[in-house]
Every structure is written in C-alpha cells, then in structure tokens.
C-alpha cells in the first residue's frame, strides 16, 4: 500500500470511529433519560404533576410488584418515587389516598432545619449565636454558664449536651445538664426550641412564618399539630414529595432559591465529628460510622448499606421516610405505620426496602 492509500485508510478509520463514538454517545443518552431530561417542578397552584413511565426510564418493570407487595406487608400507607421531579411511582394502601394526610414525625425536623436557615439568610438570626440570645436566660435548668454554651447550631446538630433520658418535655425543669454543648451527640426533642427561636427572631408565630417562607412557596399543604410534647407536621404525600424535590435541588424551586445553598449544603453534610451521619437534622448515608437515637454507641459502616452513598434523608418515627439521591435525581417517599417494631428513625426496614428499590431502578 502506497503512502497516499495509507493516509486515506487512516482518515476513513478515524471518521468511522468518530461516528461510531457519536452514535454510541447518542444511544447512551437515549437509553439514560435520567441524565438528559430537564428537572421538572409541579405548579404551586394546582394538583397537576407530570409523570414518567418505568419503561421509558429503562427500569425493571418485572420487579415492581415485588416492591409493592413488600410495602403492603410492611404497613405502608403511601409510596412515591420522583425522578427529575416527575412521578414514576405513586401508590396508596389500606384506604389511604392522595388527599389523605399523615404525620411526618421526626422527618419533619428537616422542615425546622430549613426554616431556621431561611430566617438566618433574612438576617433575623445567626445559628452560631447562643440560644439564650433569642429565648432569654433560664430556658433550661442548667447553670447559666453551661446554658450559654448552647448555640442554635447545637440544636440543629443534636449536640446540646442536655440529658436525653428525660423524655420529650422541653420545659426548663426538664432540660438538664449532661455534658458541655458540642461534646456529646444525643437525639433530643430540644431541637423544637428552634421554632421558638425563629418566632422570637422574626416576630411572627412559627406556623405563620413557616407557611409564608416555605410551605406556600413550593405549593405544599398541611399544618403543625401539637401532639403531647411534640410539634408534628401533617400533610399529604405529595406535599412531602414537594419538599423532597426542593431538597434534591439544594433549596431551589424552579429557579427561586428558597434556602441559601451554602446553608443547605452544610445541612446535608457531616455537622460535627461525633455522629458523622448527621447534618442539620438530616441523616446522611455513605459515612464511615453512625450513632442512633437513645444510644451513645458508635456503629461502623454506612447508615443504610444498600442505599446510594450520596443519599441524605429525613427519617421519622414508625418509618416515615424521605430519601434524596442527587446522583440519580431521585426522591422517594414512604409514609405509614411502623414496618415492624416502633422506632424513632432508622430501622432494618430501610435496608431491605432499598434492596427492593434497587431491583427496580438498577
């Protein structure tokens, strides 16, 4: 072969490989709409919500019934999967419907975290300030010097140092010293005092400020209901999903930054070095260890081994779940009664549920 023919052959080979590469890339994009489709936000003034089929996503339709059967046997009321904001699965069980309300339990802690950040970005408060700057001295029964160590950030990160073995009552007499703030992680209902901080700092009742700055801006419905010592949010499953979609987009709703992105990034990152799997009232997957409510033990490994490492989640009593997975642009909601035994946040149900979910989405 002479030099001219050799150069022509090389050129043809390069063009062919380039076209093949382009075709392959285009085919990959067509086969993986997860990465190419734009993010969708449902309108805030209607119930309309775009959907996406499992087959169009290339997910495994044959595994869906197994997932649904498992959910039903585990006392589920509702289950949703959003991908890029569109509804892929929306299922209701045991007479529950799309208009039925259910309690968020501690999954609603993330609502308090978010509104605290909104109040901070508006200049009403600083999470590094001591809580007594807003509530006054004597909001606990600790010695003043110890009480003044507790910042709003300590409440966000469950590091107040207050005794978590005295129940959910947050009256001053029940908020007693256990350790210096910042030196001990313990799941404690005292976080709810952040609602009082926001109210005092903004001059508005908590529910009014919450509705104005978060609920109404993303089209949620629902309300806060006092249940004993706990302030509990109730809403439809779709309202839960709207908040999950806001979280997936780092606090942005259809181009409007509801919560400062720097605050939200901090909220969904390790917030202290005791429980690496905890942010600002958000649970984090993929860390090297974790702590659980009502325990001082450190457990090695990831919070939910079968779930994606980049997932952050809101976990509530009796298996209320908001799973957010940025790498897959997925939000998953599970509401209902306890899958097995009564629990405060994490349960064995999480990992088995994720095994069932993975069989569908992978």
pLDDT tens-digit map of 288-310: 999 999 899 999 999 999 999 99
Check residue 235 and give its pLDDT. Answer: 98
- The answer to whether residue 10 sits within a structural domain is no
In a domain, 287, yes or no: yes
Report how many domains make up the chain: 1
Q: Percentage of the chain with pLDDT > 90? A: 86
- The CA distance from 51 to 314, in Å, is 24
- Asked if 178 contacts 161 with a C-beta cutoff of 8 angstroms, the reply is yes
- Torsion angle (degrees, nearest 10) of CA 236, 239, 240, 243: -170
DSSP state letters, 49-77: --B--HHHHT--GGGHHHHHHHHHHTTEE
* Element housing 335 (H / E): strand 330-336
**CA 290 to the chain's CA centroid:** 17
In this structure, is residue 142 part of a structural domain?
Answer: no
- Residue 15 pLDDT exceeds 50: no
Q: What is the pLDDT of residue 27?
A: 45
Q: Which domain holds residue 218?
A: 54-137+193-361
CATH of the domain at 310: 3.40.710.10
The tens digit of pLDDT for each residue in 189-243 reads 999 999 999 999 999 999 999 999 999 999 999 999 988 888 899 999 999 999 9
User: Of residues 100 and 12, which shows the higher confidence score?
Assistant: 100
**Count of CB atoms situated within 10 Å of the CB of 268:** 24
In a domain, 8, yes or no: no
Per DSSP, which regions of the chain are E strands?
A: 76-83, 86-92, 102-103, 223-227, 230-235, 252-253, 256-257, 283-284, 289-290, 299-300, 312-316, 320-325, 330-336
- Rounded CA gap, 187 and 292, in Å? 8
| Residue 320 resides in a domain | yes
Asked if the structure places residue 311 within a domain, the reply is yes
In a domain, 89, yes or no: yes
At residue 32, the pLDDT reads 60
Instruction: Report the C-alpha gap between 311 and 323 in whole angstroms.
Output: 7
Mean per-residue pLDDT over the chain, rounded: 92
- Write out the two tokens for 202: 């903004």
Q: For residue 24, is it within any domain?
A: no
Q: What is the pLDDT of residue 305?
A: 97
Residues of the chain above pLDDT 70, percent: 90
Contacts of 283 (CB under 8 A, 6+ apart): 277, 303, 312, 313, 314, 315, 345, 346
Residue 35: what pLDDT?
Answer: 63
Cα–Cα distance, 316 to 296 (Å, whole number)? 19
Q: Once rounded to an integer, what is the mean pLDDT over residues 65-72?
A: 98
């Amino acid at each position: 072969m002479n030099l001219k023919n050799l150069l022509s052959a090389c050129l043809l080979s390069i063009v062919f490989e380039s076209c093949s590469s382009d075709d392959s890339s285009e085919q990959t994009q067509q086969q993986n709409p997860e990465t190419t489709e734009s993010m969708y936000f449902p309108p805030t003034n209607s119930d309309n919500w775009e959907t996406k089929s499992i087959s169009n996503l290339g997910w495994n339709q044959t595994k869906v019934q197994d997932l649904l059967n498992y959910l039903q046997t585990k006392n589920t009321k509702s289950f949703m999967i959003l991908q890029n904001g569109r509804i892929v699965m929306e299922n209701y069980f045991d007479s529950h419907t799309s208009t039925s309300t259910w309690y968020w339990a501690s999954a609603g802690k993330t609502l308090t975290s978010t509104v605290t950040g909104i109040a901070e970005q508006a200049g009403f408060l600083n999470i590094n300030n001591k809580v007594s700057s807003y509530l006054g001295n004597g909001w606990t029964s600790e010695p003043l010097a110890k009480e003044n160590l507790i910042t709003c950030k300590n409440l966000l990160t469950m590091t107040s140092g207050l005794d978590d073995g005295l129940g959910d009552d947050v009256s001053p007499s029940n908020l007693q010293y256990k350790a210096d703030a910042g030196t001990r992680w313990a799941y404690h209902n005292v976080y709810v005092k952040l609602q009082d901080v926001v109210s005092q700092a903004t001059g508005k009742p908590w529910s009014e400020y919450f509705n104005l700055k978060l609920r109404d801006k993303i089209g949620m419905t629902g309300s806060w209901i006092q249940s004993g010592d706990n302030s509990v949010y109730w809403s439809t499953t779709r309202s839960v999903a709207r908040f999950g979609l806001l979280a997936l987009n780092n606090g942005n709703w259809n181009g409007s930054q509801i919560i400062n992105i720097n605050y939200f990034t901090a909220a969904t990152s390790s917030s202290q070095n005791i429980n690496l799997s905890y942010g600002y009232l958000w649970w984090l997957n993929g860390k090297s260890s974790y702590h659980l409510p009502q325990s001082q033990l450190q457990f090695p490994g990831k919070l939910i081994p079968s779930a994606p490492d980049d997932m952050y989640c809101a976990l509530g009593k009796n298996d209320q779940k908001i799973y957010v997975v940025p790498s897959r642009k997925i939000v998953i909601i599970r509401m209902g009664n306890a899958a097995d035994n009564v629990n405060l946040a994490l349960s064995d149900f999480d990992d088995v549920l994720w095994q069932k979910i993975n069989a569908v989405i992978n």
